[in-house]
Amino acid sequence: MNRLLKIDKLIKQRTDKKITCSELNKELVFECNGILFTLIKVDDKANILLNNQDIRCDYIITSNNTNEIALFIELKGSDIPHAFRQIQTMKDRFSKGYLKVYGAIIYSGSPFTTIIQNSIQKAKKSGFKNVFVSRSSLVLKYIKNEIKK
């Protein structure tokens, strides 16, 4: 079993229905479609895997009984490059063994820019299957072993 799932203090939810992550008027909804997933709050003072200086994303959603999927989530203000660094750092540290790795960034800055487009391409080259970026809210669905918008 993945080492993230062994840290019960960080696990916020296990469900096969719907997972919602929200902070600072930003929200991600993940529809599980009957497959069991686990929500882990990474950016938490109780996180014994990281120290306070470590760059980290806010949440990770993982497929529960397999190492099929990991989704690294950052709910951000307007510093998009830093958000990409956060999900990349956590992916590099915790995604070993996952078949498909995704990222999601929900932000409150200016509309979609070339910085975001370039960051998405760079993230895909570094091993993300896809990175979803949206302003204020995002709904993702698990469909046939994939995460889709």
CA-based nearest residue to 91, from 77, 111, 105, 112: 105
0.85 surpassed by pTM: yes
Instruction: Kindly list the domain boundaries of the chain, sorted by start residue.
Output: 3-148
| Rama region for 146: left / alpha / beta (φ>0; ψ in -120 to 50; rest) | beta
Domain boundaries 3-148, CATH class: alpha beta
Q: Is the dihedral of CA 60, 10, 107, 116 positive or negative?
A: negative
pLDDT one digit per residue (tens) for the chain, 149 residues: 444 444 566 778 889 999 999 988 999 999 999 999 999 988 766 555 665 667 889 999 999 877 889 999 999 888 889 999 999 999 998 888 899 999 999 998 777 788 889 999 999 999 999 999 999 899 999 998 999 99
How many whole angstroms separate alpha carbon 118 and alpha carbon 9?
Answer: 36
Contact criterion met (CB below 8 Å) for 28 and 75: yes
Amino acid residing at 126: S
